[in-house]
Structure 1
Amino acid sequence: MKIGDKVRFLSDVGGGVVAGFQGKDIVLVEDADGFQIPTSITDVVIVDNDDYSTSRIIENKTQPKVKSIPDDDEDYDPAERPVTFKPMAEERKGGDKLGAYLAFVPVDVKEITSTRFETYFVNDSNYYMRFAYMTAEGANWHFRATYEVEPNTKLFVEEFGRDDLNNMERICVQIMSYKRDKSFILKPAVDVQLRLDIVKFYKLHTFRESAFFEQPALIYTLVENDKEVRPLVVDPDKLKKEIMNKAKADDMLVSSANRHPKTEDKNAPVVVDLHADELLDTVSGMSPADILNYQLDIFRKTLKDYEKKKGKKIVFIHGKGEGVLRHAIVNELRYRFKNYTYQDASFREYGYGATQVTIK
């Protein structure tokens, strides 16, 4: 059975077209009205056209045979009529505020370096959610899936391998929320773009326990308490404005220092704090890569400004963190500024997260 096959229900009237799968045992059957009905894979059979009557069932030895519903003029036991009632989705207290998440779950968490992954959409609200799931291909987008998710449930979207990760660095999820058979408060449509850190898929500790899964998962927030997550995409104009404002502030500091040269200790090292909150007024709209590149630009500019002052010591405060900035700085010193020497700065004065560079 595959997506696009026409199927008929065994324990209910009607049928539809296979629109997708939830795990290995549940098939999503899309009816004529466009609604997707989760159904056990053992409760459907493939048919060769749109006639869902029992006479058109394709023989399938793995499927149990269904008893035909008798005509109205035949005698039959009403208890034998298939149950067609479907209860309304359960709601929970506090669930009228939207909550939605995109989750990635390792198929085999014990083999994190080689395992495949499953993608899930989690609807943590009392609303039905219809979502579209896309990934970027350069300046364009590739459509991957669209489903309707019932309230307070999670839905399997797809399975992928490590070869697919390079095509999943930028993800877009668009969501429309509503309720069925009752009035509801209108919610704005959600449009979230995320940047996946591909390196995290190789680290076991990034997959953590959660209330949504029995196994560890990497979970990205799309919307929580009706608030859409801040998009991890860069506004080029805003970034340029931030950099220009910071450059003007730096020029003012240099000008002020030049007006009071006698107060400077010539033997004291120059201290440059590379923390993002020290360099920029705000990092809103900037991705981690954009912030890192800006920090490295300040690092290079500082070394360029002092390149003629032989023996001058410069302390760059980068923080301990995960060591990404420090690693990038060391890489610059090894290959771009080979003539300069460097070492860990004084722990007593600057803590663990600082590197001292000496101009040669």
Structure 2
Amino acid sequence: MKIGDKVRMLHGNEEGTIRKVSGSRVEIEIEDGFLIPAMKNELVVIHSSEKTFFEESTKTVPENNEESNQDSDQAPLIAMIPQNDQEMILHLVNPSLGSFLVHVEAEKEGLVKTLFANQLPKKQWAQLDRFKLKDLSSWPILNVLILPIHESFENKGPIISSTLKFKAKVFSKSTVEIPLLKQKGYLFEIFREEKELDIHSLNAELNEWNPTATQQVKPPSSRVDLHIEELVEKPDELSNSEMLRIQLETFEQNLNQAISSGLDEITFVHGIGNGVLRKEIHKRLSEIKNIKYFKDTQKDRWGYGATLVRIS
């Protein structure tokens, strides 16, 4: 195994790309961008032809060609899903029965950044980027180019070129369930006329979604233990990525509660371990403006397995 190999867990559903190799251990970057540790003997390399082989071997021809015509007018969608009261995650979703070549780039002040340039198969989605809600007025423009993939001779589909501007009146007035993701968010059909958003409606809905904005918030404990044994009853039944997700959700929930309630400082006990949780916590803390500082703390008790956060 080497850096860049696509691998799958033998005892779980996770797939990802090897980013670091150290003896018999590796670090894998999974779909959400998290790095998780694993032993080499727990992994299997995914051959490049595996997906094609299984798709071809399980493909069936629909009777009367009904399936090939279903959802023929659909195209990939852009979705914004609230992560918390401060951040939204941008997704590209293809709920149709056709595959597409998609290029998405963010444009800001004359500069561009490619967010996605690849094939998007049917019934698949991809996470593109994260945006801070407080920076809504300076969000980049999205330039989207979509080309349908024709696997046989059929009517030529349209090439879609569209621009999305996330300004004061771009989002819908209420959230909807995003296809495939099964989460509430804001949905944009790329090839249709853009709807303008009432920013006041967006803020009102986010306030309703986040009770801390409308009522007195009770401060959390000044010490939050993120060891997975303290958070769930049966940690042995969880995969590494599921554990990390639960720990980070608990961290963000308590941090938001601490900020909203006016708490001066809070300590997160994450342990030493392989350092993945500590690294992700420090990364997120560095992106929040109303954090005065944070540091490793209390070596005698937790062996520098804790982080003190000072809130401004």
- Bucket of the pairwise TM-score, normalised by the shorter protein: 0.3 to 0.5
Q: TM-score, normalised by structure 2?
A: 0.44
Q: For the pair shown, which has the larger CA radius of gyration, 1 or 2?
A: 1
| Alignment TM-score, normalising by the size of structure 1 | 0.39
More strand by share: 2
